[in-house]
Amino acid sequence: MLKDKLNIDGCLKCSYCNTVCPVLKVRPDYPGPKKLGSDIERFRREGLSFGEDWVDYCLGCGQCSLVCPNQVGVSEYIAEAKAHQEKNGIKKIRDYVFARPALLGKMSTMTAPVSNSVFKMATALMPIGGITSHRTFPSYASKALRGSVVSKQETDQRKQILLFPGCFIKYNDPSLGETAIKILERAGYLVEIAQTGCCGLPAIADKKESLTDAKNNLLAMEDSVTRGSRVVTLCTSCGYTLKSKYTKLFPDNDRLGKLADMIASNTYDLGELMVELLEEGKLKLPMNTPPLKLAYHTPCHLKAQGIGRPWFKVLKSIPGLEVVDLDAGCCGMSGTYGFRQEKYDISMKIGENLFKAINENIPNQVVTECATCRMQIEHGTKFKALHPVEVFAQILSR
């Protein structure tokens, strides 16, 4: 059933998927999505091995699946192949931890700021664990995201929002979540923070864990979504997972399959909601914005949602703002990919176009929705990067 949904026989061999693959652009020896997609699945079904060493180099950006004219689940087949990979030694331990950001977040938040000092001091030793010493872990907040919770008796269902916080906002940057809540409340919404865990995307190569994450999250959101709440995400990877991944995970479980479909069709990126308000004339835009040049980067997982660039549209509507579309491709970070020692150089090479575009534009501020894109931009340039809602809130408060 899963395989049918991914259309294994639909490949036309047109190579369009190869033309958009960020890894193939910097590593011509990478077999590319055309070969690693449905081909690898066919080999595996015959008990043969093909390209297994390479699947780990896929960023999981989803661009190959997005452009495929025949809707072949190219990146999904590669993810399936990753899940079947045997890992040993230190990589196995590292990948186990990286697949569980909620566990790491919970422990690090409980022990912050000590945990932050320990991570900083241990940076030089990270290569022992297969992690690059060129980067530092983002610091953890000492309190996870908490906020207003809507009453279950509330009757105005249409205006209720269930905020899916995701691990980064919950444990590393709760103030970003609080900013979004303030903006949503200002626009008349009642916001409930979902009692969910990791979206499961980091555990894509750990099938059991990603299924557990997905199942727990679906059940945790069922009640609110059934009552009419819309699910809103600020993280493009969480949004991509809720909209496109959960629906393919439970082919043999009717209840979870239907719940996944319901949640997918009720999930929105915060920017989508802002555009909706803008188009309905309900979004109060700041009028006296001092001249400010913003450089906007589109995250791959926003592109993969097929919703355009809603925040770009909102920011462009603000008088006084100059918003440059960087249009420079993938940043190369892809969650923890850029933290892996063996992938660091590829990650930075992929990001070169973006770094160059930012440096050439000399903006006052870089904006992008994805937290790990922001990390990569700050690592590869001297510019700071913010989520668009932070810039929007800053302008409003002037």
Binding site for ligand SF4 (CB under 6 A): 11-17, 20-23, 33-34, 37, 58-64, 68-70, 72, 74-75, 78
**Smaller CB distance to ligand SF4: residue 44 or 106?**
44
| Smallest distance, ligand SF4 to C-beta of residue 11, A | 3
User: Residue 127, exposed/middle/buried by CB under 10 A (0-12, 13-18, 19+)?
Assistant: middle
| Smallest distance, ligand SF4 to C-beta of residue 301, A | 10
| Smallest distance, ligand SF4 to C-beta of residue 244, A | 12
Order of strands across the sheet that contains 292-296:
321-325, 292-296, 365-367, 385-386
Helix (H) or strand (E) holding 97: helix 89-98
**Please, which residues bridge with residue 376 across strands?**
none
**Smaller CB distance to ligand SF4: residue 72 or 214?**
72
**Smaller CB distance to ligand SF4: residue 8 or 262?**
8
| Smallest distance, ligand SF4 to C-beta of residue 61, A | 4
**Smaller CB distance to ligand SF4: residue 20 or 274?**
20
**Please, which residues bridge with residue 160 across strands?**
190
| Smallest distance, ligand SF4 to C-beta of residue 148, A | 37
Helix (H) or strand (E) holding 268: strand 267-269
**Smaller CB distance to ligand SF4: residue 184 or 302?**
302
The token pair that represents 131 in the structure block: 């992690």
**Smaller CB distance to ligand SF4: residue 85 or 157?**
85
Q: Exposure pattern of 63-75 as b/e (b: 16+ CB <10 Å)?
A: bbbbbbeeebbbb
Residue with tokens 């995250």: 299
In sign, the C-alpha dihedral spanning 5, 10, 16, 21 is positive
- CA 271 centroid distance within chain: 14
User: Residue 45, exposed/middle/buried by CB under 10 A (0-12, 13-18, 19+)?
Assistant: exposed
- CA 278 centroid distance within chain: 24
**Smaller CB distance to ligand SF4: residue 194 or 204?**
204
Contacts of 177 (CB under 8 A, 6+ apart): 145, 147, 163, 165, 169, 170, 193, 234
| Smallest distance, ligand SF4 to C-beta of residue 23, A | 5
**Smaller CB distance to ligand SF4: residue 26 or 126?**
26
| Smallest distance, ligand SF4 to C-beta of residue 194, A | 27
| Smallest distance, ligand SF4 to C-beta of residue 64, A | 3
User: Residue 152, exposed/middle/buried by CB under 10 A (0-12, 13-18, 19+)?
Assistant: exposed
